[in-house]
Amino acid sequence: MLPVPHFQVVFTLPSELRAVALRNDALVYDAMFDASANVLHELARERFDAVLGFTSVLHTWASDLRHHPHVHAIVTAGGLGAAGWTASRPEFLFPHRLLSARFKQRLVARLRDAFAAGELQPPDDDPATLRRRLRDAARRRVRFVVHVEPPAGRGAALAARYLARYARGVALADARILAVSDTDVQIRVRGKVVTLPGVEFVRRFLLHVLPPDFRKIRHYGLYAPGPAARRRDAAAVLLGTAPVAPVDEQPNHAHATSPATLAEPPCPCCGRPTRRHALPATRPSIRWAPLPRGPP
Rounded CA-CA distance 212/176 in Å is 27
For the cut 70, the answer to whether the pLDDT of residue 16 exceeds it is yes
Percent of the chain with pLDDT strictly greater than 90: 45
pLDDT given at position 265: 64
- Bridge partners (DSSP) of residue 67 are 61
Banded pLDDT at 170 (limits 50, 70, 90)? confident
pLDDT digits (tens, 9 = 90+) for 175-230: 899 999 999 999 999 889 999 999 999 999 999 999 999 999 999 998 888 766 66
Rounded CA-CA distance 208/202 in Å is 11
pLDDT given at position 23: 92
Rounded CA-CA distance 245/195 in Å is 50
For the cut 60, the answer to whether the pLDDT of residue 248 exceeds it is no
Percent of the chain with pLDDT strictly greater than 70: 75
pLDDT digits (tens, 9 = 90+) for 267-284: 766 766 666 554 444 434
pLDDT given at position 264: 59
Task: Kindly calculate the radius of gyration of the chain based on its CA atoms and give it in whole angstroms.
Answer: 23
For the cut 70, the answer to whether the pLDDT of residue 240 exceeds it is no
For the cut 70, the answer to whether the pLDDT of residue 33 exceeds it is yes
Averaged pLDDT for residues 84-105: 90
Rounded CA-CA distance 107/146 in Å is 13
Banded pLDDT at 151 (limits 50, 70, 90)? confident
Distances (CA, A) of 271 to 8, 263, 265, 266, 274: 50, 14, 9, 5, 9
In the sheet where 146-149 sits, what is the strand order?
A: 146-149, 6-12, 67-76, 53-61, 217-221
Of 50, 47, 65, 56, the residue nearest 11 (C-alpha): 56
Rounded CA-CA distance 73/40 in Å is 10
Of 241, 238, 219, the residue nearest 229 (C-alpha): 219
Rounded CA-CA distance 282/245 in Å is 16
Of 197, 172, 202, the residue nearest 185 (C-alpha): 197
pLDDT given at position 245: 37
pLDDT given at position 241: 55
For the cut 90, the answer to whether the pLDDT of residue 290 exceeds it is no
pLDDT given at position 136: 85
pLDDT given at position 165: 74
Average pLDDT, the chain: 80
Averaged pLDDT for residues 55-59: 93
